[in-house]
């Protein structure tokens, strides 16, 4: 039953359609309402119209002037286009995130205050090595079993995980292939995952 207040308005949080599907006729009416909304300008006032040549020139000049006055915005727009329309974090934003997470024990990457800056990967940590581990593991995630060819999205290669979490230990027996969904799971309960992988692969 639909609940209303004394003004006849729907009560917030009232899930009157929870589990109820729209009929084909109802879907058709919704579609027609949206289309009419675009056409009469209720949803998009510029629907069906085009910029004139003069208007386009003004927009172009405005963007050019903006690029001159704010070169950092131009750089951000370029980076946004490179990232399939998704904006990257600005340098300032990344700095703020880094400060917020640094030294925070609740951060899953926190280990006694260590970080990538003072505990970097060795020079031998190269793509050739990582590809050799993926090939050894038949390009299959050792946790969920997904094949690398089945991975969708931007990151389609399997990650290479250090079983003992020591970035400098590049012994192949200490490296395994994990997908991007499974790898973050190993940042929690590290003792559990060390024992899990060592037991699964017969390591001591």
- The pLDDT profile of the chain, 204 residues, written as one tens digit per residue, is 556 667 666 666 555 555 677 888 888 888 887 777 766 666 666 767 788 888 888 887 777 766 666 777 766 666 665 555 555 667 788 778 777 766 666 665 565 555 555 556 777 888 899 999 999 999 999 988 889 888 877 777 899 999 998 888 899 999 999 998 889 889 888 889 999 888 876 655
Evaluate whether residue 13 is within a structural domain.
Answer: no
Q: Taking the complete model, does pTM exceed 0.75, yes or no?
A: no
Label residue 161 left, alpha or beta by phi (over 0 means left) and psi (-120 to 50 means alpha): beta
Scan for tokens 């963007």, then name that residue: 63
Evaluate whether residue 40 is within a structural domain.
Answer: no
Evaluate whether residue 118 is within a structural domain.
Answer: no
| Same domain? 144 vs 104 | no
Number of domains in the chain: 2
| Same domain? 147 vs 99 | no
Q: What does 7-44 look like in DSSP terms, one character per residue? A: TSPBPTT--TTTT-PPPHHHHHHHHHHHHHHHHTTSS-
Evaluate whether residue 39 is within a structural domain.
Answer: no
Q: 86-111: string of b/e by CB count within 10 Å (b at 16+)?
A: eeeeeeeeeeeeeeeeeeeeeeeeee
Pairing status of strand 159-162 against strand 175-178: antiparallel
Q: d(Cα 73, Cα 20) in Å, to the nearest integer?
A: 46
Residue 95 domain boundaries: 52-110
Evaluate whether residue 58 is within a structural domain.
Answer: yes
| Same domain? 133 vs 103 | no
| Same domain? 132 vs 184 | yes
Q: What does 142-168 look like in DSSP terms, one character per residue? A: TTT--BGGG--SS--SPEEEETT--TT
Smallest CA-to-CA distance from 151 within 182, 174, 188 is with: 182
pLDDT at 15: 57
Beta bridge mates, 140:
147
pLDDT at 138: 92
């Amino acid at each position: 039953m639909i609940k209303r207040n004394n003004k006849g308005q729907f009560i917030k949080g009232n899930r009157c359609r929870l589990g109820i599907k729209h009929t084909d006729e109802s879907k058709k009416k919704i579609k027609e309402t949206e289309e009419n909304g675009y056409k009469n300008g209720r949803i998009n006032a510029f629907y069906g119209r085009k910029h004139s040549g003069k208007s386009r020139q003004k927009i172009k000049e405005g963007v050019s002037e903006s690029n001159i006055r704010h070169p950092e915005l131009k750089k951000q727009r370029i980076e946004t286009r490179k990232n399939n329309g998704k904006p990257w974090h600005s340098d300032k934003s990344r700095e703020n995130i880094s400060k917020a997470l640094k030294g925070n024990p609740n951060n899953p990457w926190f280990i006694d205050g260590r970080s990538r800056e003072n505990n970097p990967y060795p020079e031998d940590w190269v793509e050739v090595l990582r590809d050799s581990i993926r090939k050894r593991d038949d390009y299959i995630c050792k946790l969920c079993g997904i094949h690398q060819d089945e991975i969708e999205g931007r990151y389609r290669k399997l990650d290479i995980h250090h079983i003992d979490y020591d970035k400098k230990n590049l012994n192949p027996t200490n490296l395994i292939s994990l997908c991007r969904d499974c790898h973050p799971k190993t940042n929690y309960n590290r003792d559990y995952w060390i024992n899990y992988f060592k037991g699964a692969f017969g390591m001591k």
